[in-house]
Amino acid sequence: MSRTLKSPKAVNARRTQTSRDNGDMNMGDILRARRTAIGLSQAELASVVGVDRRQIRRYEANVAQPTLPVARAMAHRLGITLDELAGDDSADLSGDWLSGWQVQDAGGQWGMRVQPVRAIQRGDRLEISSPVDRTSGPNSFPWHGDLHRSNATAYGSFRAEAVGFPHTRGALVVTISLEPQQITGAWVTVGSMTRPISTAAFAMTRSEPDLAAIITDMATRL
């Protein structure tokens, strides 16, 4: 029995309709929605990323896919990540997390401090803060941070405001895993003349057992 092959345009149109029927948004939908939300025309976006305006129209109609460099350029201009442009729902890092990092006591022994935090994702930025209702207690160490994502890596700053401790500021350099959702890397602070730079393991996970294991592993590699 012979079979008639459908054109790529017909196949893409069917996928688009199926995606919408399921309540999902594909890349073309996301591209068009984000572009119009920030008041950017197809011609303006095309000029920024270096393609013809007709190509942007094709992307939004889901009859063509951008190359990786073009996709990166579009995501950057639209203020979203590549994962978000591709419609990957798992890329949203908002919500409640447990943060943990190495600390050194007066005797030089290393331990770990754990602090619940809440993250809000805004495009390629991740704003992190300690919830007011979860910062009480003698071991509480509330802090705030701001990470800038670039695909699987991120960098940013933090500031800690714990009672009984001097205000601490520093930098965070991390990698981001989406499955499972984990943020791992190191914190860096500028200290005194005798110890100008301090650095140690840092991580954020959804569960404390995972956090302890990651911090232990990271400590052996820093």
Segments making up each domain of the chain, as ranges: 8-89, 95-219
| Beta pairing class for 168-178 and 181-190 | antiparallel
Share of the chain above pLDDT 90, in %: 30
* Higher pLDDT, residue 64 or 160: 64
* pLDDT for res 178: 73
Band of pLDDT at residue 15, cut at 50, 70 and 90: very low
The pLDDT score that the predictor gives to residue 104 is 80
- Looking at 3.40.50.620, 2.30.30.240, 1.10.260.40, 1.10.1760.20, the CATH number of the domain 8-89 comes to 1.10.260.40
For 96-121, write each residue's pLDDT tens digit.
999 999 888 778 888 888 999 999 88
Q: Which CATH class is domain 95-219?
A: mainly beta
Indicate the angle between helix axes 27-37 and 53-60, nearest 10 degrees.
120
